[in-house]
Amino acid sequence: MIEHIELFFKSIFIDNMVFAVFLGMCSYLAVSKKVATAVGLGAAVIFVLAITVPLNWLLDQYLLQPGALSWLGAEYADYDLSFLSFIMFIATIATMVQLVEIVVEKFSPALYNSLGIFLPLIAVNCAILGGSLFMQSREIESLGLAFNYGVSSGIGWFLAILAIAAIREKIRYSNVPAPLRGLGITFIITGLMGIGFLSFGGMLTGGEDGAVTTEPTAKVEQAKTEKAKELADNTKTVE
């Protein structure tokens, strides 16, 4: 249970798709002019990530990893198909996006109309492929965790695009230097938000290691005494 909670908060805040690894930036910048459209795209990203990451986890586990084919029989055990993962992952994602589009169109035309153009765009959103590739490179252990990872990194992306859309709606009334207007200021604001998100880095380790906190203070004390000595020496030489 604890690793689920840890992964959940870690993928939303610490390894945030936008601010820590810059995934899905193109649609993040293109679709964040209004809050309403940003919410639609954000929801679609959460949904697609929640489906494709566990699906690709299964593919990776039973088809692509070195030794993954051993369920077919002992003679297949030393096959390594991991070089195929890009093409398999992107094929899964493209098919899933197409499927989701068909299903949404059938059962909820209203939602389909509001998402309309964004759904096919998601197939080429790097946050989606990035989710699957990070899932592979971080060696997530179980299907449940993979699902958790998909949902929570989707939520992280959603939060980021919601925040920047809200800021961009307000910044229209600010006096930004003309050449920076639009794209430039959005980049810089995203950078500043990224710096803010860096501070979440200590969220999961803070408070546990009391030993570490005492060490620096000891060093500071030592440095202080050394400085005092130096000062004393200097005053002596002046005299």
Least distance to other proteins from the beta carbon of 182, Å?
Answer: 3
Q: Give 3's contacts (C-beta < 8 A, 6+ positions apart).
A: 145
Which x/- pattern, by CB under 8 A, does the window 73-92 give for other proteins? ----------xxxxx--xx-
Give the residue with the Cβ less far from other proteins, 26 or 58. Answer: 26
Distance, in Å, from the CA atom of 155 to the CA atom of 46, rounded to the nearest integer, reads 6
Distance, in Å, from the CA atom of 183 to the CA atom of 175, rounded to the nearest integer, reads 15
Q: Does 179 bind other proteins (CB under 8 A)?
A: yes
Distance, in Å, from the CA atom of 50 to the CA atom of 52, rounded to the nearest integer, reads 6
Q: How many CB atoms lie within 10 A of CB 80?
A: 12
Name the residue among 121, 107, 145, 97 with its Cα closest to residue 41: 121
Q: Does 192 bind other proteins (CB under 8 A)?
A: yes
Least distance to other proteins from the beta carbon of 1, Å?
Answer: 28
Distance, in Å, from the CA atom of 32 to the CA atom of 34, rounded to the nearest integer, reads 6
Give the residue with the Cβ less far from other proteins, 178 or 212. Answer: 178
**Torsion sign, CA atoms 145, 148, 153, 154:** positive
Among 35, 111, 123, 143, binds other proteins (CB under 8 A): 123
Tokens of 28: 């993040």
Least distance to other proteins from the beta carbon of 45, Å?
Answer: 13
Distance, in Å, from the CA atom of 103 to the CA atom of 179, rounded to the nearest integer, reads 44
Among 128, 160, 163, 164, binds other proteins (CB under 8 A): 128
Among 4, 9, 25, 144, binds other proteins (CB under 8 A): 25
Q: Does 170 bind other proteins (CB under 8 A)?
A: no
Interface residues with other proteins (CB under 8 A)? 19-26, 29-30, 83-87, 90-91, 94-95, 98, 120, 123-126, 128-130, 133-134, 137, 177-188, 190-195, 198
